[in-house]
Amino acid sequence: MPSFEKIDYFLRPSKQVERKLIIEALQKISKAGHYIHEYTYLGLGSIFYVDFLLFHKYLLIDNMICAERFNYPKRMDFNKPYEFIDLVMKPIGEVIQSINREKPYLIWLDYDFALDEDVLSDIRKCLHVIAPGSILLITVVSDLYNLTNLIDPVEKKEMNEQQQKQEIVMKLNELIGSHYGGEIAIKDIAPNRLPTIMASALRNHINSCISIRDDIEFFQLFNFEYRDNMNMLTLGGIVGNDQTHKLLEDAGIYKLKFVTDSEKPIEISVPPLTVREKNWLEKNLVKLEQHLVNNTDLPKDMPFEIKSELVKNFVKYYRHYPFYYETLV
């Protein structure tokens, strides 16, 4: 089932924060003379085309290709916001072979499932063909619940929770063990470890694929973990040479707090909030920020219950926090 049938794409605040952070970083790169608006965007728009709308409006990208593996061409075409989006009804892995190898691309492999053979294969294909300067973003589900898909469902019925975990660990080792560069253990699939393991495996896979090319390296920019309804992980960066790296440094990209070249993901989950809550938080930003420097707990006089982690993230990313209203149209 396509994930849009489960959740409205617009109503994912953390995902939206992620999109806006990426846009902010890419705008900075553009300002430094590396013009992102000349790029071609290849992504998985789904029927909402959210990233296409944003990347066109805020990154001024006109060349856009949307790949869709599910078979509803009319609906995809009907919802296409711009004529210039080239809709290709194929899995993205089959679109990569026809991209122009001379021109820079922004590719977002934005999957709604966990790391698997196809994900690794698509990454591999991208890194084989993309021109220097291209940007590759990969999003996967990093939820233990989704990893149970690795287990044979018939066998799964016979297993208790512990056995399932052991089986997942075994399957994960088969899949990404060689990329992770060590044995994955049961403790590694705990929710606080799993995103780092996934990010690390993705990084190593990317580096091993790119080592075959002698013209480019991968410079990581993004490593986000967030949760709307599932734990997600996004790893991304730009491929290029020493000059690209210098350009990134000159552009001040690494000074952005949400840009990292570390294997430890940056948590960007933000809470779903009511209008009143959001307004209150924004009004009290400075106070909250100061309080959170010295305390792990929230101030005692909080007018509503909320986790301190989420408030911390809200304080960091309030500029990118989306707000949704119901509108009668």
Partner 1 sequence: MASEVAQAYVTKSFLIDIITRDIGITEAILELVDNSLDRAVELFEIDVTKSLVEDYQFNAKLKLSEPITVNIRLSKNDFVIEDNCGGISREDLENEVFIFGNPKEDTNYNGLSAFGIGMKRAFFKLGKKVELYTTTEDEESAVIWDINEWLELGEENWNIPFSNVDDVSLEYEHELPGTIIKLEELNESVKSRFEQVEFINALKSRLKIGYALFIKSGVKILLNGEELTHNLPGFFTSEEIGYTSKKIKHKDVEIQLLAGISPVEDRTPRGWYVFCNGRMVLEADKTTETGWGTALPQFHPKFNHFLGFASFKSKNVKSLPWSSTKWGVERDSPVYLVALEEMHLQTTPITNVLDRWKDSKDDDDIPTIGLKELLRDGKVVSVFASAKAEATFEYKPKKERPDTIRISFIKDRSLVESVKEALGNPKMKNSTVGELVFDYYVESELG
127 dihedral zone (left: phi>0; alpha: psi -120 to 50; beta): alpha
Give the x/- contact pattern for partner 1 in 1-40, rule: CB under 8 A. Answer: ----------------------------------------
- Asked if 176 contacts 263 with a C-beta cutoff of 8 angstroms, the reply is no
- Assess 91 for contact with partner 1 (CB under 8 A): yes
- Assess 100 for contact with partner 1 (CB under 8 A): no
Among 8, 33, 71, 326, binds partner 1 (CB under 8 A): 71
Among 25, 65, 96, 168, binds partner 1 (CB under 8 A): 96
CB of 132 to partner 1, least distance (A): 16
Q: Buried (b) or exposed (e) across 46-63, using 16+ Cβ within 10 A? A: bbebbbbebbbebbebeb
CB of 266 to partner 1, least distance (A): 31
Laid out side by side, the sheet with 105-114 consists of 85-88, 63-67, 40-43, 105-114, 135-141, 231-240, 217-227, 266-267
**Is the CB of 18 or the CB of 122 nearer to partner 1?**
122
CB of 91 to partner 1, least distance (A): 7
| Residue from 21, 20, 19 nearest 253 by CA | 21
Parallel/antiparallel/unpaired status of strands 217-227 and 231-240: antiparallel
**Is the CB of 126 or the CB of 311 nearer to partner 1?**
126
Stretch that binds partner 1, among 5-13, 26-34, 86-94, 252-260 (CB under 8 A): 86-94
Among 37, 103, 193, 213, binds partner 1 (CB under 8 A): 213
Q: Rounded distance, CA 163 to CA 179, Å?
A: 24
Stretch that binds partner 1, among 14-22, 92-100, 254-262, 281-289 (CB under 8 A): 92-100
**Is the CB of 209 or the CB of 268 nearer to partner 1?**
209
CB of 149 to partner 1, least distance (A): 18
Binding residues for partner 1, rule CB under 8 A, total 17
- Assess 103 for contact with partner 1 (CB under 8 A): no
CB of 212 to partner 1, least distance (A): 5
* CA distance to 15, 275, 304, 305, 311, per residue, from 285 (Å): 22, 15, 15, 17, 10
Q: Rounded distance, CA 133 to CA 143, Å?
A: 31
CB of 97 to partner 1, least distance (A): 5
**Is the CB of 65 or the CB of 251 nearer to partner 1?**
65
Residues 119-158 within binding reach of partner 1 (CB under 8 A): 121, 124-125, 128-129
- Assess 97 for contact with partner 1 (CB under 8 A): yes
Residues 216-275 within binding reach of partner 1 (CB under 8 A): none
CB of 215 to partner 1, least distance (A): 11
Q: Rounded distance, CA 139 to CA 113, Å?
A: 9
Q: Rounded distance, CA 43 to CA 49, Å?
A: 9
Using CB atoms within 10 A of its CB, is residue 314 exposed (0-12), middle (13-18) or buried (19+)? Answer: buried
**Is the CB of 1 or the CB of 286 nearer to partner 1?**
1
- 89 phi and psi angles, rounded to 5 deg: -85, 75
Q: Rounded distance, CA 168 to CA 42, Å?
A: 32
What six digits make up the tokens of 48?
């909402």
Q: Rounded distance, CA 203 to CA 64, Å?
A: 26
Stretch that binds partner 1, among 8-16, 18-26, 162-170, 212-220 (CB under 8 A): 212-220
Under the rule (CB under 8 A), what is the footprint of partner 1?
71, 91, 93-94, 96-98, 117, 121, 124-125, 128-129, 209, 212-214
